[in-house]
Amino acid sequence: MALELSTLTTRAECDEALVDLQAELDGYEQRTSNLEFSDRQAQRTQADVAGQLAGVEAEIAAHTAILAQTNLTPALRRQSEGKLRRANDRRDNLNDRGSARSGAARFLADVDAEQVAAQVTVLTNAISQVTAHRATLAN
């Protein structure tokens, strides 16, 4: 992208533009860093939820197997039914937690990341062009 650099007629104007461009670039680079951090956090959360979910699924299977036995005492049956209900509730909560971000939210986050990347490219290019233009100007 070629910019109209003729409006910058002195090195001081170039320096001023470079300071502003660099400040804006720093902001976008910080935002990129924050987006990457959020992605890493989401991945860790997903892994944690998946591990917990596997444990709860095993617990549900065990309680279901106990309840399938015909010779249970009424007290053991009630106890196992209660544990099975609580395990099912934990599984439901983990499934909700694991799918908290909708498809639309994930898509919009991807769009945001793409916009930030494009801005970084534009600003880096502008800095390069102003720097090259500055070198052509008299002191």
User: Which DSSP string corresponds to 14-76?
Assistant: HHHHHHHHHHHHHHHHHHHHHHHHHHHHHHHHHHHHHHHHHHHHHHHHHHHHHHT-SS--HHH
Q: What is the mean pLDDT of the chain?
A: 86
Does residue 86 sit within a domain? yes
99 pLDDT band, cuts 50/70/90, is low
Number of domains present in the structure of the chain: 1
- 34-61 pLDDT, tens digit per residue, is 878 887 887 787 788 888 888 889 989 9
Does residue 43 sit within a domain? yes
**For 86-102, what is the mean pLDDT?**
78
Does residue 4 sit within a domain? no
| 110: CATH | 1.10.287
**pLDDT over 90 percentage in the chain:** 35
Does residue 76 sit within a domain? yes
Does residue 51 sit within a domain? yes
C-alpha–C-alpha distance, residues 2 and 24, integer Å: 19
Does residue 62 sit within a domain? yes
Does residue 67 sit within a domain? yes
Asked whether the predicted pLDDT for residue 114 surpasses 80, the reply is yes
Containing structural domain, residue 113: 10-136
Does residue 1 sit within a domain? no
Residue-level pLDDT at 97: 72
- 25-37 pLDDT, tens digit per residue, is 888 888 888 878 8
* Burial degree of 74 (CB within 10 A; 0-12, 13-18, 19+): exposed
Q: b/e for 38-69, b at 16 or more Cβ within 10 A?
A: eeeeeeeeeeebeebbeebeebbeebeebeee
**For 76-95, what is the mean pLDDT?**
89
Asked whether the predicted pLDDT for residue 102 surpasses 70, the reply is no
Residue-level pLDDT at 132: 94
What is each CA distance from 16 to 4, 69, 79, in whole angstroms?
16, 80, 74
